Chains A and B, each alone.
Chain A
Amino acid sequence: MSNKVPTPDELSKIDYKPPKRKWMDTPVEFKPGTWCYGSRPKYLEAVGMPNPRDWKPSDEDWKLPENWKEIFLEGMEERLRKYRSFRLFMDICVRCGACADKCHFFIGSGDPKNMPVLRAELLRSVYRKYFTTSGKLLGKVAGARELTVDVLKEIWYYMYQCSECRRCSVFCPYGIDTAEITLIGRELLNLLGLNTDWIAGPVANCYRTGNHLGIEPHTFKNSLEFFLSDIEDITGIKIEPSFNRKGAEILFVTPSGDTFADPGTYTCMGYLMLFHELGLDYTWSTYASEGGNFGFFTSNEMAKRLHYKIFAEAKRLGVKWILGGECGHMWRLLNQYLDTWHGPADFLEEPVSPITGTKFENTKSSRLVHIAEFTADLIKHGKLNLDPSRNDHLKVTFHDSCNTSRGMGIFEEPRYIIKNVCNHFYEMPEDTIREKTFCCGSGSGLNAGENMELRMRGGFPRANAVRFVKEKHGVNMLANICAIDRAALPPLMDYWVTDVRVTGVHELVGNALVMKGEKERTVDLRNEPLTSKESKEE
């Protein structure tokens, strides 16, 4: 390829109009920055997934098993039988287009195959060809097509450009949930060993050590001890949490991101401070050391397999109930899938807050309480001594994570907490929050580095709304209750907005929490000076 820069005149003559072609006839092209590396064999071997081998999505030859087509179609047939929703979603779409412009990946890329309806159509066309009479007879005319290697590649490409956020489903008059279609699409691809490395790695690690990073117990403990010394420096208070303690009342589980990656680490400090202040009878586990579940981005079976460790550990330790940290998909799994997988966790007790006596009725079956509910309840009952002026250097907005909002309906609690621990809170525009929230663009295991362009596209609608409140109100902090958000939003802000940082809600709580016996605070949890303090001194 020549590197010659065209002259302006040449440029103005080039016709950039793409040729008009039907989507089925437009072959997939693997554009740089839009796809993730293929899974390495050792990760697949670790959990007994099929077809482990070295492969690159950009390679011509994907080293598929010889009978790959059979495997794929049999897998499809099995799932059509097993999941009524899947069959329904394959059949009932009337292609009304209501979902078409609701996907952040379409909005940000302008690539029509990122319209939810077309994303689903990639799989649906194969379904028609092999599982419907009209498709078998009429082929293309009936929207059906042969499953070829190219079609398989196209399905792969776009199943890993969906963050399973469910925004589209909010707008579909039939309630078709394209995220479910993606889930099954990925399951089928996994039958052929076509996972991404970024997903397969955490799955293998989680299976072995209980968390995505492969952190072993002593290292997990070390990491928390790190925060304890930071907390002591800032507040003068020495905290001694317990690990793997049998007989504790509560088991606390949070995504491992909170224990190793900034800014999640500050949120983790917030949890530690809050629990200490309450004198909560709780324990950490170095085995159930992960709230997240990349198995969910692999297959239903894998999600189920990895998820149960939390409950097995609760059983082993003999706790009464489980408290969960600020995590996204952990909650969606609990809310939508747990009962089907394992039935109610009735070997545990129905959760009751030991501080306020509140019974968390909504967790009757899962016995697992979300920390936003727990803390909002504490505040409501006046159990926390809070000084919101310690967050006066922050102008905060709140991003609803797809999983906690659309997957679970947690809208009010985090807002209630923020308004009680901060004096400056501003909502983003209505079309971009609550059930209509825009995804961070990196959910469902898409938060790798190699697909940064894709993430920036998908995250643009979110970033655009943040930019609006930044310009209008001077917002400088983007709060959320999801560990993937805390990892994915900082680079998103860096590219689109600048000068807006990212925080978990419990970091803000940690800042505002007035602890018994603490020394006068001069810095926040990030070791940055408190403005209220400065101005008092002036």
Chain B
Amino acid sequence: MELKTLLLEKRSVILEKWFNLILESYPPDASGFLRSQRNQFTNPVGNTILKGTEGLFDKLLGEMDSDSEEAVSLFLDNIIRIKAIQDFTPSQAISFIFDLKKVIREELKNENSGVESRISGELLKLESRIDELALESFDIYMKCREKIYDLRAKEFQDKTFRLLQMANLISDPELRSEEDHGSVLKGKDNNLKPEK
């Protein structure tokens, strides 16, 4: 329990450092805006990250004195969904989870050795829980990416269906693939006449 008390005391410092660390992955010209603009509608990225980190942190602390694991997926999802469509590699997109470990370690390093040894067991447990979250983050990231591919394919199908249907072209093998970056819709060879 001692660790939880400590972390609760340092909650605002930890959260602030964690938030700032995440924002450092953005270009300096952007991170200032993401950090300071607190309107959830005009700065949805900054605010989603802010609320996400607070939510994750509180849930993790909540778990510490209960046996059940709290549902943290939503907070993870909200943050990762954003990073998955921005200019990040997969590892960059989920690295923010590890930032939390870093910040907690740093915050605890000034505690005296007595405290340190008493909390080490709890800390280890917390850290492996954070590792688990990282694994979950990979899954969420993959789901977001799959969704993007899905949308690309689906958009094309939806757009084409009615047109092909009415042009009696539904069984036409000419249905183009995405690589052929043309489109039946845009009149690829303008083959839109009924076959007969």
Contact = CB atoms under 8 A, between A and B. Distances in A.
Interface of A: 5-6, 8, 11-12, 14, 16-18, 20, 23, 31, 33-34, 37, 40, 100-101, 106-112, 115, 197-198, 201-202, 204-205, 208-209, 212-216, 218-219, 222-223, 226, 260-262, 265, 429, 431-432, 449-450, 452-453, 456-457, 460-461, 464-465, 468, 487, 490-491, 494-496
Contacts of B82: 460
Contacts of A465: 41
B186 A205 contact: yes
B172 interface: no
A506 B37 CA distance: 38
Contacts of A23: 29
7 contacts: A14-B91, A40-B182, A107-B45, A108-B44, A223-B163, A429-B41, A456-B148
Closest 10 CB pairs of A and B: A214-B187, A201-B186, A112-B29, A110-B30, A464-B44, A12-B98, A16-B25, A110-B26, A456-B85, A37-B181
Contacts of B85: 33, 452-453, 456-457, 495
Contacts of A450: 152, 178, 181
A5 B91 contact: yes
B27 A110 contact: yes
A452 B152 contact: yes
B28 interface: yes
Given A112-B29, A216-B192, A453-B148, A222 B166 contact: yes
A223 to B, nearest CB: 5
A431 B86 CA distance: 24
B98 A11 contact: yes
B120 interface: no
Contact of A213 (B27, B45, B152, B187): B187
Given A101-B43, A110-B45, A12 B30 contact: no
B99 A106 contact: no
A486 to B, nearest CB: 11
A449 B155 CA distance: 7
B87 A111 contact: yes
Interface string B120-164: 000000000001001000000000100110011011101101110
A431 B162 CA distance: 37
Nearest to B187: A214
B66 interface: no
A17 B30 contact: no
B151 A18 contact: no
B81 A496 contact: yes
Given A260-B162, A431-B39, A18 B28 contact: yes
A265 B33 CA distance: 41
Contacts of B161: 262
B95 A11 contact: yes
Contact of A214 (B42, B86, B98, B190): B190
Interface of A is mostly: helix
A8 B131 contact: yes
A468 B30 CA distance: 24
A461 B42 contact: yes
A101 B183 contact: no
A449 B192 contact: no
Interface of B: 24-31, 33-34, 37, 39-45, 48, 81-82, 85-87, 91-92, 95, 98-99, 101-102, 131, 134, 144, 147-148, 151-152, 154-156, 158-159, 161-163, 165-167, 178, 181-183, 185-187, 190, 192-194
Contacts of A208: 187, 190
B25 A17 contact: yes
A17 B39 contact: no
Nearest to A261: B159
A495 B78 CA distance: 11
B148 A431 contact: no
Contact of B183 (A201, A216, A219, A496): A201
Contacts of A17: 24-25
A201 B187 contact: yes
A261 B162 contact: yes
Given A452-B152, A457-B85, A101 B33 contact: yes
Contacts of A31: 87
Given A111-B87, A223-B162, A461 B178 contact: no
A325 to B, nearest CB: 17
Interface centre among B101, B186, B190 (most CB of A within 10 A): B186
B158 A261 contact: yes
A34 B30 CA distance: 18
From B158, B181, B182, name the one whose CB has the most chain A CB atoms within 10 angstroms. B181
A6 B91 contact: yes
B110 to A, nearest CB: 20
Contacts of A460: 44-45, 82
A495 B163 contact: no
B162 to A, nearest CB: 5
A496 B163 CA distance: 28
Contacts of A202: 186
Contacts of A452: 85, 148, 151-152
Contacts of A213: 163, 185-187, 192
A495 B41 CA distance: 18
Q: Find the residue from B26, B41, B82 having the highest chain A CB count within 10 A.
A: B41
A144 B183 CA distance: 41
Nearest to A456: B85
B42 A107 contact: yes
A494 B151 CA distance: 8
B186 A214 contact: yes
A459 B160 CA distance: 23
A214 B185 CA distance: 8
A496 B147 CA distance: 10
